[in-house]
Amino acid sequence: MPTAVRDHTVIAWLHEAQAAVTGRADYLTQLDAAIGDGDHGINMTRGFDAVGKALAAQGAETPPGRLLVLAGKTLVSTVGGASGPLWGSALRAAGRSLGDAVDVDGSQLAAALDAALAAVVDLGAAQPGDKTMVDALTPATAALRERLSAGGSIAEAVSAAAEAAEAGARATTPMQARKGRASYLGERSIGHQDPGATSAALIIRALQTAVTQAG
Ligand code: ADP
Ligand code: MG
């Protein structure tokens, strides 16, 4: 099992994320059609396609933090919807938190994911319970830390994070949206799973897949 996250793990993560949002694009768009404007699958696919191209143009052995900063900048510049700046800020903050580290250990990974979530909250001002991607990312970061501090490996910790993100996404269904476009619907947003929380869970699951493959 891997004891560190390296450049190839980050590249594998972002490619897995691209494949996941592309494979579920229609579903993400359906979720967004119910409580938003029906572009979430398109936004995420466009953004992560551009990330894939940007990474392909990188030299070998770029540190994980730099790859994440590049991915974040790419998302901000290619995605028009709310999710572009939010995910862009998240990945840039994660990348800045890692600096030029070549081998990222569990506590650096946990700090990077905390920085990503903090950036989303800084920009979007959503709290847990507001029916946004924050409802997937908050339990994911908590589960990652908990599993690491209980002595778990990185692989076990990201697995717990992915499960927590998926449970967090499902838990958005009965919530009333208080941020983003879905909030315009008021009570009519209740009863639908949040698209951004759903794609956030896909992205955390993609991290788990990448870490497992690296091992
Ligand atoms: P847009 O709403 O501009 O069409 P997307 O459809 O791509 O953008 O993304 C919608 C998702 O963005 C929502 O499902 C929600 O999870 C997330 N989101 C929207 N506003 C916020 C916010 N202020 N904070 C956190 N996440 C948000
Ligand atoms: Mg939308």
Q: Over the stretch 137-149, which tens digit does the pLDDT of each residue have?
A: 999 999 999 999 9
Mean pLDDT of 160-171: 98
Select from 28, 40, 83 the residue to mutate for testing ligand 1; criterion: most ligand atoms less than 8 Å from CB.
83
Given a cut of 90, whether residue 161 has pLDDT beyond it is yes
Per-residue pLDDT, 60: 77
Q: Kindly state if the Cβ of 11 falls inside 6 Å of ligand 1.
A: no
Q: What is the mean pLDDT of residues 20-25?
A: 98
Q: What is the mean pLDDT of residues 189-196?
A: 98
pLDDT of residue 2: 62
Q: What average pLDDT does this structure show over 84-95? A: 98
Q: Are 202 and 87 in contact (CB under 8 A)?
A: no
Instruction: For residue 155, report the distance from its CA to the centre of ligand 1, in Å.
Output: 29
Is pLDDT of 23 > 80?
Answer: yes
* Average pLDDT rounded to a whole number, residues 18-38: 98
Residue among 209, 189, 145, 190 at smallest CA distance from 36: 189
Residues within 5 Å of ion ligand 2, judged at the Cβ atom:
32, 36-37, 39-40, 81
- Is residue 214's pLDDT more than 90? no
State yes or no: pLDDT of 94 exceeds 70.
Answer: yes
Across the range 117-140, mean pLDDT stands at 98
Q: With a threshold of 0.75, does the pTM exceed it?
A: yes
> What DSSP designation does 87 have?
H
The owner of tokens 């639908």 is: 192
Reply yes or no on whether the pLDDT at 78 is more than 80. Answer: yes
Does the pLDDT value for residue 197 go beyond 70?
yes
**Residues 48-77 pLDDT 10s:** 999 999 999 987 789 999 999 999 999 999
Which pLDDT value is given to residue 4? 83
* Cβ of 126 below 6 Å from ligand 1: yes
Asked if residue 16 lies in contact with residue 39, where contact means CB atoms within 8 angstroms, the answer is: no
- Judge if the beta carbon of residue 81 lies within 6 A of ligand 1: yes
**CA 32, CA 34: separation in Å to the nearest integer?**
5
Enter the tokens of residue 196. 């951004």
Residue 103 pLDDT > 90 = yes
